[in-house]
Structure 1
Amino acid sequence: MRSIAVSLVASLFLSLPLFASPEAWQALPAPLKAELEGVAISLYELGPDGGEVALSRGNLTETTPLRIASVTKTFVAATALRLVEDGKLDLMKPMTTYVDKAFTDILREDGYDVDAITVKHLMSHTGGLTDHAQTKTFFDIIIKDPSHVWTREQALRGAVDWSEPKGAPGEKFSYSDTGYILLGHIIEKLTGKPLAAAVRLQLGLDQIGMPDTYWELAEENEDAAKRRAHQMLDGMDTYGWSATLDHYGGGGLVSSTRDMARFFQALFSGKVFRKPETLNLMLSNEGLPADSPYRLGIFVKEEKGVTYYEHSGFWGTVVLYVPSSGRTLSGAVLDQAHFKMMRQGLMEVVASGQ
């Protein structure tokens, strides 16, 4: 049943100009309606010519603001690359060049060779840093007290106390929110601005046109904040969980499927960076482990011979760009349990080559 439904989602997404009305829902094939019954889902496509396709179901539309979690990393990495363009940041320098000694001293306690970890290592998840956000202790603290206010220092301390280094710098890919917390700190130091303000200014988010997008706790967007979705995890409504648990660069942004697509479309069509070679740098695997799927803030993957650039977020969000067609696809579900099905549907679209 699931494979049938996924294929039908893909075919509908390819063919329908808009799929949101109750009448259209009733016209769906029975197997698909059974699979999607009760699933709040938003799929959105933006073509190179500006054409849009939206599919939505439940209390979720292409303009519903959600916490996008790790999709934020693409925004943060792109901001760092803008600083490279301006000559303010050197990716090959050790992170100790830019990071406060108080933070590097915490990492030294756990045996990290912080003088050998470069900024590029942080951006590509190849610095050997653990991921504090994937430890049992991190989640235990959140479940016990969802309102707990996290600081950047607490997260780094957790990385040291709750886990061990994942390898030598440059040895292998190992995904790390901890590394992006440090990258966010670097951006703040070099720009003299809070991370949210630096990202917005350096990437020109206002010019792109992203009305549903803001950085929680750091930016005001009353309209979007009032509409922010209640995202579910294992039967728990996470709406009231402190945004500080994912705030300092590994996550932090609230956005919508439409806004995520608009940013990816602008980024990968050459409208964010000032120099074409910067986008090439972002997507290059030069100097990275041969088997790494990650570049600088973005996954580069292939589905049945079709290359695409992707990032997803923990709560159930994903956005991807297909360079061969110039199309951007994004998706979100309100319940994380439905994320796999949604992403499989998007992969059907990518593989179709249409």
Structure 2
Amino acid sequence: MRKGTRIALGIAAGVVAVIVAGVGTLAVLNRPLSRAEVDEAIRERLHDTVAEHASVSSVLFATYDGRTGELHRYAAGTVSADSAEPARVDSRFHSASVGKTMLAAVYGQLVDEGRVTFADPVGKWLDAAVLDGLFVEGRAPEVTLGQLLSHTSGAADYFEGPVVSGPPMIELITTNPDRLFTPADLLAFSRDQQTPTAAPGTAFGYSDTGYVLLGLALEKIEGRPYAEILERRVFTPLGMPDSDLLTDYGVDADVLAVTARGVDLSTRNAMSVDWAGGGVVTTTADLVTFMRAFTSGELVSAPTLARLTAFEHEFEPGIRYGMGVMQFRFSELSPLLFSMSDAYGAVGATGTYALYDPEGDTYFVANYGSLEFGEKAIEELVDLRLITDRLAD
């Protein structure tokens, strides 16, 4: 069963469970709540999540209301499974593929500056030897920046894609978490152990491999390391003091646990597997700051934002993709959620997301820190939205 289908079924099952509980339950669920009651209900939900799921040692959740300017942050659990130290609302965490939206924003800035176009071939900056073996034979010269950003280049996905030989990446990082990966290593994995998924521009296929290529191309365009690019173009201008691209691997970076198959990878070299595909360490407050800037036109122009958020590609039923940005159409995920407005933004495989609901002018940010919770996090978001939507005016 495909990922998006599992999300849709999980959400539908959760809503059905409420309905079969009876009309009386629904009446209670529709009762308006005070701010204090909403806060208490959210905290209870987060604590229950930690208690019920062994792979989740902590949960962070934040909401920002653009109409009132109110930021509310919540934390439950401990910094890791073997620690008694509580997670804090300002704890830092690995944001996984949320970083893809940041990379897409930088490319959007370059488009606005007239330095690149989305139609530019990536081979304009990367040697043929770097691209060799990553795309359908003979098609590498035509792969564009826009295709890489929208996951339509046909490159395999080194992180979750199938392999034709050797162990998959998840097995490599969990059986040998102290192995260090360079961007060249990640490309070599796709080149040697995977096959391209489609001809460029013909199909959507999520690809971390493509985002490594985008990171390498960006370094050539800007003439500086990717970590410095993010600092100069995103973190410093927006005032995100607790955000940076992880570059010192295998050390205690004072971040929350990231678990995969029972292994905490947060302080291991295996975190080098992300890089330009999602190596940013951040906080919920900083992600709210980023998303507000991204959605308001502060980072990129309105026409460029419209290009990034065109959502022309179907990731799965009810889930659409633009360029580095994902959209959730909740009414399509479950008809029982016909009244829940769409949200778009950044989503990571570790149960991390930073999403914006334009209709309600509300932002939702969370981190569950578990590869086993990537899909479940969106189901939990539905439950949390059902709580926040009951806030009395």
TM category (shorter chain) comes to 0.7 to 0.9
Distance 2:179 2:284 in 1: 28
Flag the 1:46–1:35 CA change in 2: closer, same or farther, 3 A: closer
Q: Tell me the SS of whatever aligns to 2:320.
A: coil
Distance 2:323 2:260 in 1: 28
Distance 1:18 1:197 in 2: 43
Amino acid of the residue matched to residue 105 of structure 1? D
Amino acid of the residue matched to residue 279 of structure 1? L
1:294 and 1:300 in contact (8 A); partners too: yes
2:351 and 2:370 in contact (8 A); partners too: yes
Distance 1:45 1:113 in 2: 44
**Aligned 1:60-99 pairs, distance under 5 A:** 60-99=87-126
Please name the residue that 2:233 is paired with.
Answer: 202
**Aligned 1:167-182 pairs, distance under 5 A:** 167-182=198-213
Deviation string, structure 1 residues 89-128 (Cα, Å, up to 9, x no partner): 12112221122232023436x6261122111000000011
2:94 and 2:369 in contact (8 A); partners too: no
Amino acid of the residue matched to residue 189 of structure 2? G
1:327 maps to 2:341: no
Q: 1:246 aligns with which of 256, 267, 274?
A: 274
Structure 1 residue runs without a partner (length 5+): none
Please name the residue that 1:37 is paired with.
Answer: 51
- Give the Å deviation of 1:307: 2.1
Deviation string, structure 1 residues 150-201 (Cα, Å, up to 9, x no partner): 1212211111221111111111110000000011111111111111111222
2:291 and 2:356 in contact (8 A); partners too: yes
Q: 1:345 aligns with which of 356, 366, 380?
A: 380
Q: Tell me the SS of whatever aligns to 1:258.
A: helix
Q: Tell me the SS of whatever aligns to 2:73.
A: strand
Q: 2:244 aligns with which of 207, 214, 219?
A: 214
1:132 and 1:176 in contact (8 A); partners too: yes
Amino acid of the residue matched to residue 345 of structure 2? E
- Give the Å deviation of 1:19: 8.0
Please name the residue that 2:350 is paired with.
Answer: 315
Amino acid of the residue matched to residue 216 of structure 1? L
Flag the 1:113–1:345 CA change in 2: closer, same or farther, 3 A: same
Q: Tell me the SS of whatever aligns to 1:134.
A: coil
Amino acid of the residue matched to residue 215 of structure 1? L
Distance 1:42 1:189 in 2: 36
Q: Give aligned-pair identity as a percent.
A: 24
Q: Tell me the SS of whatever aligns to 1:188.
A: helix
Distance 2:209 2:353 in 1: 21
Amino acid of the residue matched to residue 346 of structure 1? L
Flag the 1:111–1:17 CA change in 2: closer, same or farther, 3 A: farther
Flag the 1:47–1:28 CA change in 2: closer, same or farther, 3 A: closer
Distance 1:96 1:320 in 2: 32
Please name the residue that 1:51 is paired with.
Answer: 70
Distance 2:253 2:387 in 1: 38
Flag the 1:218–1:106 CA change in 2: closer, same or farther, 3 A: farther
Distance 1:348 1:19 in 2: 12
Please name the residue that 1:184 is paired with.
Answer: 215
Please name the residue that 2:160 is paired with.
Answer: 134
Distance 2:295 2:363 in 1: 9
2:158 and 2:208 in contact (8 A); partners too: yes
Distance 2:257 2:106 in 1: 29
Deviation string, structure 1 residues 190-235 (Cα, Å, up to 9, x no partner): 11111111122223x223222221111179xx9xx65311222222
Flag the 1:15–1:184 CA change in 2: closer, same or farther, 3 A: farther
Task: Figure out how many residues of one structure are paired with residues of the other and give that number.
Answer: 338
**TM-score normalized by structure 1?**
0.83
**TM-score normalized by structure 2?**
0.76
Flag the 1:101–1:342 CA change in 2: closer, same or farther, 3 A: closer
- Give the Å deviation of 1:37: 2.3
Distance 1:104 1:36 in 2: 43
Q: Tell me the SS of whatever aligns to 2:111.
A: helix
1:19 and 1:55 in contact (8 A); partners too: no
Flag the 1:265–1:3 CA change in 2: closer, same or farther, 3 A: same
Q: Tell me the SS of whatever aligns to 2:169.
A: helix
Distance 2:34 2:237 in 1: 30
Amino acid of the residue matched to residue 214 of structure 1? D
Distance 2:196 2:34 in 1: 47
Q: Which is worse superposed, 116-125 or 327-336?
A: 327-336
Flag the 1:325–1:148 CA change in 2: closer, same or farther, 3 A: same
Distance 1:167 1:71 in 2: 25
Flag the 1:226–1:160 CA change in 2: closer, same or farther, 3 A: closer
- Give the Å deviation of 1:236: 1.4
